[in-house]
Amino acid sequence: MVEINRSSFGLSSGQLFQLFRDGQPHTKAELAELTGLARSTISLRLDPLIELGVISPAAENSSTGGRPSTQLVLNERAFVVAGVDFGASHAVASLADFSGKILASIETKRQISDGPEVCLRWMIAELKHLLAGQGIAEENLLAIGIGLPGPVEHSTGKPASPPIMMGWDAFDVPARVNQDFNAKVLVDNDVNVMALGERYASYPDVDHLIFLKAATGIGSGIISGGQLQRGAQGTAGDIGHVRVSSGGGVSCHCGNFGCLEAVASAPAIIKKLVADGLPIRNSSDLIDATKRAKVEAIQAVRQAGRDIGEVLSTCVSLINPAVIVIGGSLASAGEHLIAGVREVVYARSMPLASENLLIVQSKVGKEGGIIGANVMAIDYVLDAETIDSMVNALITK
């Protein structure tokens, strides 16, 4: 039995594997030259990766001719990951390969307040169904990324006092899912996951990005220095309860007063318009009204944009992002919301921080949730440590 030293420096199978993440083919000879490792060491490290199937010989390329050494390449279809996005009243489950390509997905209306047992049982059944449909064995599902509509302690995968998720507080999501799948389970709040998805799909080269979701609630995901920032307790980006100047004494469901969410979320805007006599029942009515150029609706959405902009202008001073992306159902209200955001952010921010700042509507929209959940799972699976533990498991089998 060969023991892979996990503390080895830059030379484990998993670390060697990182070279394949560029998607380019490599030969053993080339890797030996590149790393300075002996050919025998290269084989020792690569052979388990080939046995695992995460790298494999590239398709024959007869045109190059005469090259005897085998080209090896990342096998994007070796295993799959799952990305699941739970909203307050909807859920999407999907499978993706290592390139992030969605292989299959299913979407449904579903209340998060039904609790974890019901919601996760649905998810497990659907993932089994999707795997069967693709002809993929369950043990080939290596990781499941899950976005939930509330604060989550990412390190344990447990929701932390989520306001709208009855029965989920401190529920051990990975433990429950692991009763049915022997896969790594990664959980984060939906807005962090959307930030990952938006960056992956639309701004892969941007290292400083704030994604703000404005819908039933208001929250943000922060990518700074190229990393998603979760903070000490995982609540980084939770800006719905920052007090805003127009908030006055408006009471918020969090128990405080004048919070951003209490004045600028979709329910807050609808409540105000209803009080003004407009027949608006839900977010779609509100979006419709702005599209039909109903002036009261446009004014209310624009004011919500200003309130959001007030908080974002502090974020700009603090984080100095290159891009702010606005998503969520309210962002669908045309340019009215973003116009309000821009009005305040550009008025309040220092010139150096705002001169190159982009404030834009989400490009990926709802898709961002499952893209980000899959990206979270893929980043875990392809990490050197994960690959090394797979290699160790193979060798000690």
Residues found near a copy of itself in the complex (CB under 8 A): 5, 7-11, 15-16, 18-19, 33-38, 41, 151, 160-161, 207-208, 220, 222, 224-225, 227, 229-239, 241-243, 245, 254, 256, 310-311, 313-315, 317-322, 348, 350-353, 355-357
- Least distance CB 121 / a copy of itself (angstroms): 28
Q: Which is nearer to a copy of itself, 18 or 56 (CB)?
A: 18
Euclidean distance between CA atoms 3 and 96, whole angstroms: 32
- Least distance CB 355 / a copy of itself (angstroms): 8
Nearest Cα to 333, choosing from 287, 366, 293?
287
- Least distance CB 45 / a copy of itself (angstroms): 8
Q: Which is nearer to a copy of itself, 341 or 357 (CB)?
A: 357
- Least distance CB 36 / a copy of itself (angstroms): 5
Which phi and psi (to 5°) does residue 105 adopt?
-150, 160
Provide the token pair at 345: 């952010």
Q: Which is nearer to a copy of itself, 70 or 224 (CB)?
A: 224
DSSP 88-131: SSEEEEEEE-TT--EEEEEEEE--GGG-HHHHHHHHHHHHHHHH
Cβ-based neighbours of 51, under 8 Å, separated by 6 or more: 394
Q: Which is nearer to a copy of itself, 31 or 120 (CB)?
A: 31
Provide the token pair at 357: 């700042």
3-state SS class at 319: helix
Q: Which is nearer to a copy of itself, 7 or 64 (CB)?
A: 7
Q: Which is nearer to a copy of itself, 91 or 196 (CB)?
A: 196
Helical H segments across 321-367, by residue range: 336-348, 351-354
- Least distance CB 58 / a copy of itself (angstroms): 20
Residues paired with 209 in a beta bridge: 223, 323
Helical H segments across 265-383, by residue range: 266-275, 283-291, 295-319, 336-348, 351-354, 368-381
- Least distance CB 205 / a copy of itself (angstroms): 12
